[in-house]
Structure 1
């Protein structure tokens, strides 16, 4: 897997440079970024795009990048993330959308999540998306939850409400690490990879 970062911002570059998988592949021009993508045709490429470094029309440029290089997994970063833009980019195929000034631990988590085939979006956007989903008949939700243990059912419903692992642990009075294990089990049983998909299944199936 190759990870490339495109940004003009010193603050962004400073944090991104601390992500082990970057290995110095931080570029300041579109040409350099494209050259690195094309240099690894047989390798999974993750591209962190700092949209504010591109300027006007960045979201459309990001879409064009995905059209030109469909095998690349694009993560869009914004200085001021926007719900509308985030939803639009996710619909276009962006694999991650978050704050460009996130610390390197969060950026590493985003890269890892996307590298594993899942979608990563910041918590507030996930809550916004989930809140917009219509509720479904109780029978369909029960049918989905029947595959899970009672504790997993509680956790799945809380995830579908947009709660973080820490908040779920607080609500259920269990350790955050235990929540994490249960969520892993839920994903396996339902054959899914991420929290957003779980929320969509529960809210929209």
Structure 2
């Protein structure tokens, strides 16, 4: 069974919230990491010093069958993008609530990418503007409401912003997102934008 492993050192330890999220989680020093990991494990790396980025890149190559997630005490967009560029599958605050840690794990374990709603909205919005899907919806893959939600995702809006604009709850937006992902065969918001742009039969008009 796969496990969650936090990369520890003399000065770096997982937060109490991480431990609450993963009671069976393992704290492992880098020297013993290779012997401890199994395919499919999620390895959590803290951006705690100047060498963390190089260490992350080395671990990505060393552990190709694992998912690496970076946690930071002072998260910012530039750091997140640097982590993703080195091969991390997720990036979040080191003091996130336990439920968010579990959400991150779920997404990356299933092959998705987690960078938090704010950065994801920026990335998706930039991708949507660059790709500029223009075709109309030629096949009824999505319902009218699902198409509206998908369009706003492509415009870079968060679930909260979509809910406010469409006059529905965030829970309803999440339900629509689940249906959209399933119908279009995508795992995250960025894949959704790419799908809409690559396949004109499911692309949406830009208003």
TM-score normalized by the length of structure 1: 0.83
Residue matched to 2:3: 2
Q: 1:159-188: CA deviations, max 9, x gaps?
A: 223333233222212232222221111111
Secondary structure of 2:95's partner? coil
Q: Does 1:181 align with 2:171?
A: no
| Among candidates 116, 124, 128, match of residue 130 of structure 1 | 124
CA RMSD of aligned residues (A): 2.3
- Normalized per residue, the structure richer in helix is 1
Q: Does 1:89 align with 2:83?
A: yes
Q: Does 1:26 align with 2:22?
A: no
| Partners of 2:176 and 2:121 in 1: CA distance | 20
Shift of residue 145 of structure 1? 7.8
| Partners of 1:192 and 1:67 in 2: CA distance | 26
- Indicate how the Cα distance of structure 1 residues 137 and 172 shifts in structure 2: closer, same or farther if over 3 A, else same: closer
Q: How does 1:23-172 map to 2 (within 5 A)?
A: 23-27=24-28, 29-37=29-37, 40=38, 43-52=39-48, 55-133=49-127, 134-139=130-135, 142-143=136-137, 147-172=141-166
Asked if structure 2 preserves the Cα contact closer than 8 Å seen for 1:97 and 1:121, the reply is yes
- Indicate how the Cα distance of structure 1 residues 108 and 137 shifts in structure 2: closer, same or farther if over 3 A, else same: closer
Asked if structure 2 preserves the Cα contact closer than 8 Å seen for 1:130 and 1:200, the reply is no
Shift of residue 199 of structure 1? 2.8
Asked if structure 1 preserves the Cα contact closer than 8 Å seen for 2:124 and 2:189, the reply is no
- Indicate how the Cα distance of structure 1 residues 9 and 58 shifts in structure 2: closer, same or farther if over 3 A, else same: closer
Unpaired segments ≥5 residues, structure 2: 200-207
Asked if structure 1 preserves the Cα contact closer than 8 Å seen for 2:125 and 2:154, the reply is no
Secondary structure of 1:121's partner? coil
